[in-house]
Structure 1
Amino acid sequence: MFKKILVPVDPGETGFADEALAKASQLARDYGAKIHLMAVCPEVQSFVASQLPEGWQKREIEETTTILKTVGARLDVPEGTVDHVVRMGSVYHEVIEEAERAACDLVLMTSHKPGLSTYFIGSNAAHIVRHAPCSVLVLRGKE
């Protein structure tokens, strides 16, 4: 089955990933897969970043790492099954790159119900499905 599962987690809305985390945990227990949690912090334009306090980006990465560690600790999987990474950039681009870099064979994520704007600009999930270097399982979130 799958050996390494990438689960993107929004650090501002971790509960939204609960269904994907539960499915990843089940696959990890059933097949001995590893879970690779990932969060993406948005890049801030340089003129905005220049107005932010010194060290803000380092603190954001540290806080996001703490969130991912907390999420990973709550999973019902054997010790050593979960690792994590925080990246900076656009969600779909960073997820696709991380899936390839970490040699993941599944991206498992939850997606919001599509709205009108999604049909014009596309969703992160749609971009990931089209361009990921591995299988992608998208669970429809309950909204």
Structure 2
Amino acid sequence: MYRKILAPIDLCEAAMTQKGIAAALEIASTGKAQLRLVNVQWLTPFAFADYVPVDLEARLRDDLEAELVKLAEQMDYPKELVSTVLRFGVIYSEVLAEAEAWGADLIVVGSHRPIMSTYLLGSNAAAIARHAKCSVLVLRP
């Protein structure tokens, strides 16, 4: 079955995050696969650099990494098989980069129902599914 499952999570979407983690855990538990939670945050735009504290990204990184670790610790799964990573940049490209760098063979990603703007602009889940080099499971509400 799957050996390495990557679960991109949105810390601002609790319901979708829990659904994604539950699905990833169910799949991972069938073969004791490794599970990695990844969260991607946007970088502060250069135009706003003068208006934010100098250490904003470092403080943000510390807080978000702590949230990821807390989520991982709450999971009913062997702790040695769970890892977390925080990345900064464009969501779909960072998820794809993490999947390739880590050697994921499955990505479990949540997605909202498509709306007009998603049809015109595309969604992160669609871009991940379209460009991933491994299998992708897209979860809908």
Task: With the length of structure 2 as denominator, give the TM-score of the two structures.
Answer: 0.95
* Greater mean deviation of Cα atoms: 27-36 or 97-106: 27-36
Whole-Å Cα distance in 1 between the matches of residues 15 and 72 of structure 2?
A: 13
SS in 2 for 1:12: coil
Following superposition, the deviation at residue 43 of structure 1 comes to: 1.4
The amino acid across from 1:140 in the alignment is R
| Structure 2: stretches of 5+ with no match in the other structure | none
* Greater mean deviation of Cα atoms: 11-20 or 39-48: 11-20
Following superposition, the deviation at residue 14 of structure 1 comes to: 3.3
* Mapped contact 2:37–2:68 kept (Cα < 8 A): yes
SS in 1 for 2:51: coil
Is 1:14 aligned to residue 9 of structure 2? no
Whole-Å Cα distance in 2 between the matches of residues 117 and 128 of structure 1?
A: 17
Give the aligned CA root-mean-square deviation in angstroms: 1.0
Alignment-derived partner of residue 93 in structure 1: 93
Count of residue pairs the alignment pairs up: 141
SS in 1 for 2:68: helix
Is 1:103 aligned to residue 103 of structure 2? yes
Alignment-derived partner of residue 3 in structure 1: 3
Task: With the length of structure 1 as denominator, give the TM-score of the two structures.
Answer: 0.94
* Mapped contact 2:9–2:20 kept (Cα < 8 A): no
- More helix per residue: 1 or 2? 2
Alignment deviations for residues 30-71 of structure 1 (CA, whole Å, 9 cap, x no partner) = 211011100011012112123210110011111111111111
Alignment-derived partner of residue 84 in structure 2: 84
| Structure 1: stretches of 5+ with no match in the other structure | none
User: For residues 1-143 of structure 1, what are the structure 2 equivalents within 5 Å?
Assistant: 1-141=1-141
Whole-Å Cα distance in 1 between the matches of residues 112 and 18 of structure 2?
A: 13
